[in-house]
Structure 1
Amino acid sequence: MNYIELQVTVSPEFSDILMAELAELGYESFVETEEGLNAYVLESDFDASALADLVTKYERQTAIAYQFSTLEKQNWNEEWERNYQPIEVAGLVRVRASFHKPDERYAYDMLINPKMSFGTGHHETTAMMLEHQLAIDHTGKTVLDVGSGTGILAIMAIKRGAAKALAFDIEEWAVENARENAELNHCPQIEVFQGTIADVDPTNRYDVVLANINRNVLLAEIPLYANLLHTGGTLLVSGFYEHDSPDIEQKAIEAGLTISGKQIRNQWASLRFTK
Structure 2
Amino acid sequence: MTFTKIIFQTNQEFSEILTAELAEMGFDTFEETEKGIDAYILTERYSSRAISEMVDKYKSLASIEYKVETIEKENWNEEWEKNYDPIAVDTRCRVRATFHEPDDSYDHEIVITPKMSFGTGHHATTQGILELQLDSDFANKSVLDVGSGTGILAIMAAKLGANYVEATDIDQWCVENGLENFQLNGLQNIDYHKGAISTLQLNKPKYDVVIANINKNVLLEEMSYYAGLLDKGGQLFLSGFYEEDIPDVKNSTDSYNLLLEKSVIKDNWTALMFSKY
Same topology, TM > 0.5: yes
Partner of residue 127, structure 2: 127
Which position in structure 2 is the counterpart of 1:164? 164
Give how far 1:13 is off.
Answer: 4.1
Letter in 2 for 1:190: I
- Deviation track 1:165-202 (CA, whole Å, cap 9, x = no partner) reads 11111111111111111111111132101101113447
Amino acid at match of 2:188: P
1:116 matched residue in structure 2: 116
Unaligned segments of structure 2, at least 5 residues: none
How far apart, CA to CA, are the structure 1 residues paired with 2:255 and 2:237?
16
Does residue 190 of the first structure (1) align with residue 190 of the second (2)?
A: yes
TM-score (norm 1): 0.83
Q: 1:55 aligns with which of 51, 56, 60?
A: 51
Contact 1:170 1:195 in 2 (8 A): yes
Q: Which residue of 2 aligns with 1:216?
A: 217
Indicate conservation of the 8 Å contact 1:158/1:189, yes or no. no
Letter aligned with residue 148 of structure 1: S
1:87 alignment partner in structure 2 = 87
Give distance in 1, aligned partners of 2:54 and 2:259. Answer: 37
Superposition CA RMSD, Å:
3.2
| Separation in structure 1 between the aligned mates of residue 213 and residue 79 of structure 2, nearest angstrom | 28
Q: Are residues 113 and 78 of structure 1, via their aligned partners in 2, closer, same or farther at CA, if it must alter by over 3 Å?
A: closer
Is structure 2 residue 241 aligned with structure 1 residue 240?
yes
Structure 2 letter corresponding to 1:118: F
Deviations 1:25-65 (A, max 9, x none): xxxx7534365433579xxx999xx7754531432444542
Say if 1:117 and 1:62 are closer, same or farther in 2 by CA, change over 3 A.
farther
Displacement of 1:143: 0.6
Change (3 A) 1:20 1:100: farther
User: Could you say what secondary structure the match of 1:129 adopts?
Assistant: helix
Q: Aligned to 1:168, what secondary structure does the other structure show?
A: strand
AA matched with 1:236: F
User: Cα–Cα, structure 1 residues 245 and 30, in superposed 2: closer, same or farther, change >3 Å?
Assistant: closer
DSSP-derived class of the 2:122 partner: coil
* Cα displacement (A) at 1:82: 3.8
- Percent identity reads 45
Superposed, which structure 2 residues align to 1:97-116 within 5 Å?
97-116=97-116
Count of residue correspondences:
261
Alpha-carbon separation, structure 1, partners of 2:260 and 2:193 = 29
Write the distance in 2 (CA, Å) between the matches of 1:223 and 1:6: 35
Query: Does the 8 A contact of 1:12 with 1:36 survive in 2?
Result: no
Aligned equivalents of 2:232 and 2:70: distance in 1? 54
Distance 1:144 1:243, change over 3 A: same
Cα distance between partner residues in 2 of 1:243 and 1:40: 25
1:144 maps to amino acid: L
> Quick check: 1:23–1:116 contact (8 Å CA) kept in 2?
no
Structure 1 range deviating more: 184-193 or 200-209: 200-209
Distance of aligned partners of 1:46 and 1:247 in 2 relative to their CA distance in 1, 3 Å threshold:
closer
Give the aligned partner of residue 141 of structure 1: 141
The 8 Å contact of residues 145 and 210 in structure 2, kept in 1 or not, is answered as yes
Write the deviation string for residues 151-171 of structure 1: whole angstroms up to 9, x where unpaired: 111011111111121111111
Q: After superposition, give the CA deviation of every residue in 1:61-86 in whole Å (9 maximum; x if it has no partner).
A: 44542136899xxx997764341110
Instruction: State the alpha-carbon separation in 2 of the partners of residues 239 and 143 from structure 1.
Output: 19
> Normalising by structure 2, what TM-score?
0.82
Instruction: Give the SS at the match of 1:145.
Output: strand
Task: Between 3-12 and 141-150, report the one with greater CA deviation.
Answer: 3-12
The match for 1:12 is 16
Shift of the 79–254 alpha-carbon distance from structure 1 to 2, 3 Å rule, reads closer
